[in-house]
Amino acid sequence: MSSVTQPDSPLLSRGMLAVIVAQFFSAFGDNALLFATLAVLKNQLYPDWSQPVLQMVFVATYIIFAPFVGQLADSFAKGRVMMFANGLKLLGTLAMVFGANPFLGYSLVGIGAAAYSPAKYGILGEITRGDKLVKANGLMEASTIAAILVGSVAGGILADWNLTGAIVACVVAYAIAVAANLLIPKLRSARPGQSWHPLRMAQQFFSACRVLWHNGETRFSLLGTSLFWGAGVTLRFLLVLWVPAALGISDNKTPTLLNAMVAIGIVFGAAAAAKLVTLKTVARCMPAGVLIGVAVVAFSLQHQLLPAYGVLVVIGVLGGFFVVPLNALLQERGKQSVGAGNAIAVQNLGENSAMLIMLALYSLAVKLGASPVATGVGFGVLFAVAITILWVSGRKRV
């Protein structure tokens, strides 16, 4: 078993390239499967409010398994944990191919995703060091967003063509991700020999939660990333109903293309953050967070496709610039205190709790008959206010 990669290893080492390839195909499958499954719900005449509920089922798996997946990532070689998690995603998708209930199959994919996340981010701190960690996060986000771009569009287009074919494409993507995980060097586990008693694991996890939430820097990062990803998943579902309401278009492809515009923007925003922000200057990302809310309001008021594309690219640029430094800050400080895997698991709990709350509020708004345009405007205003409060409170703490 090899030791952890040394600090002078190049950024694009064999291990890093394998992680990036695995992440691309795993995220491709996640995003293509989401839009394929949404098409299945529409095809089976589920009500509109069931669409965010589908994602809530997925998010709930992150919350339920949060006390355990961080320790899983830190107790074994993270590349092997990633392979195991992608295998669960593959199993859930295969179940859907053979006619399983979409909510059941998608929840199994969610369990795989919950186990995958602490390992994929935690391994970055083991194969890179220092300022390279921000750059590695930029590569990870760029790979993820490229997968969102390609996967979302592929999922929508394939779903318009053939629903079974769309889900089979996700099976292939997860299989490639599993194969790529085999190429990641088997690094030593970060914290071997921990107790696997469920009660003790839960106690250790909530102890890690207390440590990270009581530290000013990690609390700042946790709040920022939770707000961002809660907003991001809500925007994705808002687009599904906004497109027919604002543009009069009812296909599966257009919402995926609009999501792709956000993905393109995040790639550029993540690259800019890697160049302009370090762990010592993380506060530089905060104005971008406030402007995300302003841009969401501007987008919601659009009624033409071309301007909508442009505003969503801007939202993506702002989002990439905002979230990449916050992720790097949490990984570095978390590795020093509770372990990178536990830190990402705590982050997942915060982010997915935010997603669950925002999706529940969005689902309620849809069920009560609120228009997608009004929902988008209110959502953008609330997000801008929330990030402003976080920014001001952070400055006071400093």
DSSP assignments along 106-136, one per residue: HHHHHHHHHHHHHHHHHTHHHH--THHHHHH
Q: Is 214 exposed, middle or buried (0-12, 13-18, 19+ CB in 10 A)?
A: exposed
**Mean pLDDT within 89-105:** 92
pLDDT at 4: 45
The residue type of 215 is: N
- Given a cut of 80, whether residue 133 has pLDDT beyond it is no
Residue that the structure tokens 């960690």 belong to: 133
* Number of domains present in the structure of the chain: 1
CATH number for position 330: 1.20.1250.20
Tens of pLDDT along 308-322? 999 999 999 999 999
Determine what percent of the chain is predicted with pLDDT higher than 90: 28
Residue that the structure tokens 């719900």 belong to: 41
Which pTM was predicted?
0.71
2 band by pLDDT with thresholds 50, 70 and 90: very low
**DSSP secondary structure of 27-69:** HHHHHHHHHHHHHHHHHTT--TTHHHHHHHHHHHHHHHHHHHH
**Rounded to whole angstroms, what are the CA distances from 302 to 48, 151, 221?**
22, 25, 32
- Does residue 306 sit within a domain? yes
- Does residue 259 sit within a domain? yes
Tens of pLDDT along 201-258? 788 888 888 998 888 888 888 999 999 988 888 888 888 889 988 888 887 788 888 8
385 or 333, which is more confident?
Answer: 385
Domain span including residue 84: 14-397
Range ranked top by mean pLDDT from 123-127, 166-170, 253-257, 338-342? 166-170
pLDDT at 6: 45
Tens of pLDDT along 235-246? 888 888 899 888
- Given a cut of 50, whether residue 292 has pLDDT beyond it is yes
Say how far apart CA 344 and CA 196 lie, in whole Å: 19
- Does residue 349 sit within a domain? yes
Say how far apart CA 133 and CA 139 lie, in whole Å: 10
Structure tokens at 256: 């995926």
Dihedral angle over CA of 258, 260, 263, 264, nearest 10: -100
Query: Contact at 8 Å (CB) between 270 and 141?
Result: yes
